[in-house]
Amino acid sequence: MRIHGDEFQAMVERVMQVTELTSRLNVLPFGDEAGKAELLEQILGGPLPAGVTVYPPFYTDHGLNLDLAERVFINQNCTFLDYAGIRLGEKTMIGPKATFITGGHPIDPAERKVWVNFAPIDIAENVWIGAGATILPGVSIGRDSVVAAGAVVADDVPPATLVTGAKATVNRQW
């Protein structure tokens, strides 16, 4: 998506609206279930599915492309940059401070301030995402898998797999 185009401007307007809504959500008393449900419905564009639990603070930039199945659990301080779509399958558990990012910029410095690239994230059923994990654009995580705390997931994860690690390495220079 071109940063200086109409589509980008529409996205920015939605981000501003959702930022206002999440700001209000994140200062509610913890036990205000009705207030939390009302704001989450506005953020996500509909009511929460059965058995979904969201512990604020909760952050999203778009909200309308965050698809939560039944019995999803989202712990405190999680971030969902969902413009390209994030699906959380049934019985998925998300640890505190987990981050899901569907957008990014090109590596080339000249293109970095002109374009934003997007790819969806798909999390299958019964997945556990550990505290502080980061899931990057385009990743699919298979059923029954576990992403360890602090892991950075840049590639697809097969079903029933444990993934770990967050060590950065130099891949190339320009």
Structure tokens, 87:
């699906």
Q: Which of 105, 131, 136, 143 is catalytic?
A: 105
Task: Spell out where the chain has E strands.
Answer: 53-54, 58-60, 66-68, 73-74, 78-81, 86-88, 93-94, 99-101, 103-104, 117-118, 121-123, 128-129, 134-135, 140-141, 146-147, 152-153, 162-163
List the Cα angle 92/144/122 in 5-degree steps.
60
- CA atoms of 58 and 14, how far apart (whole Å): 16
Catalytic annotation on 62?
no
- CA atoms of 88 and 91, how far apart (whole Å): 8
Residues classed as catalytic: 105
